[in-house]
Chains A and B, each alone.
Chain A
Amino acid sequence: AQTVTQSQPEMSVQEAETVTLSCTYDTSESDYYLFWYKQPPSRQMILVIRQEAYKQQNATENRFSVNFQKAAKSFSLKISDSQLGDAAMYFCAGADSNYQLIWGAGTKLIIKP
């Protein structure tokens, strides 16, 4: 069975600084997909970034990038130049060869102006 662990219930960062959110994904599958979703105060869940496990190159989307370490089962999200609009709950999730996602408990990100 897959498990997703987010060990940081809350993180804070100064506006314009960089912050890294941690996630570990444990699975026996060799091929899988990892996602970071953002849930702002509006509670609308939005995809931030996706990583395919077979790809060695880390995914990047503008100010958001991942550091995927397959052997360590680590999938961290780096947010550069943090903005006030980045304040949200961030959820890590994983999926293998089906359409079900397994979710972490989430990390609340606070941006200090």
Chain B
Amino acid sequence: DGGITQSPKYLFRKEGQNVTLSCEQNLNHDAMYWYRQDPGQGLRLIYYSQIVNDFQKGDIAEGYSVSREKKESFPLTVTSAQKNPTAFYLCATVSSSGVAGYNEQFFGPGTRLTVL
């Protein structure tokens, strides 16, 4: 099946730990995104990548890091520098073919991160 997988579904982190959230896609999409979702707020962009080995900071990149070593994978690391990481994290992809801005973003099922 074509789609986006995120793992784990639930993740618990102790203070001072780094944790990595996985995002894998087999849609052959070039662009991938990481969003953070907090209650009562819309999605906020953490990082995005439009091609392999290249990525850009979004609006709330501080305390996060990413890599894009292959097209299918875009892992997000939540570092100890992120002071309030408890949130729901969504990974999305979009095709770069056609008109920029027109294509819909496809989303993974999300990872719920809780700091203990």
The answer to whether A and B come from one shared complex is yes
Listed in ascending order, the chain A residues whose CB lies under 8 Å from chain B are 4, 6, 9, 32-33, 35, 42-47, 50, 52, 91, 93, 95-101, 103-106
The answer to whether A91 and B31 touch (CB under 8 A), given A33-B102, A99-B100, A100-B48, is no
Establish whether residues A43 and B88, one from each chain, have CB atoms under 8 Å apart when the complex forms. yes
Any A CB within 8 A of the CB of B81: no
Q: Which residues of A contact B31 (CB under 8 A)?
A: 99
Establish whether residues B90 and A99, one from each chain, have CB atoms under 8 Å apart when the complex forms. no
The answer to whether A33 and B101 touch (CB under 8 A), given A45-B107, A99-B31, A99-B96, is yes
Q: Which residues of A contact B109 (CB under 8 A)?
A: 42-44
Binding site secondary structure of chain A? loop
Any A CB within 8 A of the CB of B43: yes
Q: Which residues of B contact A43 (CB under 8 A)?
A: 88, 109-110
Identify 9 residue pairs between A and B in the complex whose beta-carbon atoms are under 8 Å apart, listed by A's number.
A33-B102, A44-B107, A93-B43, A98-B100, A98-B101, A99-B31, A99-B94, A99-B100, A100-B48
7 tightest CB-CB pairs across the interface, nearest first? A103-B42, A45-B107, A95-B101, A47-B104, A103-B43, A105-B42, A33-B101
B42: nearest chain-A partner, CB-CB:
A103
Any A CB within 8 A of the CB of B22: no
Q: Which residues of B contact A46 (CB under 8 A)?
A: 107
The answer to whether A91 and B42 touch (CB under 8 A), given A43-B109, A44-B107, A44-B109, is yes
Q: Report Cα–Cα, A24/B28, bound state, in Å.
A: 33
Q: Report Cα–Cα, A93/B43, bound state, in Å.
A: 10
Q: Which residues of B contact A95 (CB under 8 A)?
A: 101-102
Any A CB within 8 A of the CB of B41: yes
B26 to chain A, nearest CB (A): 17
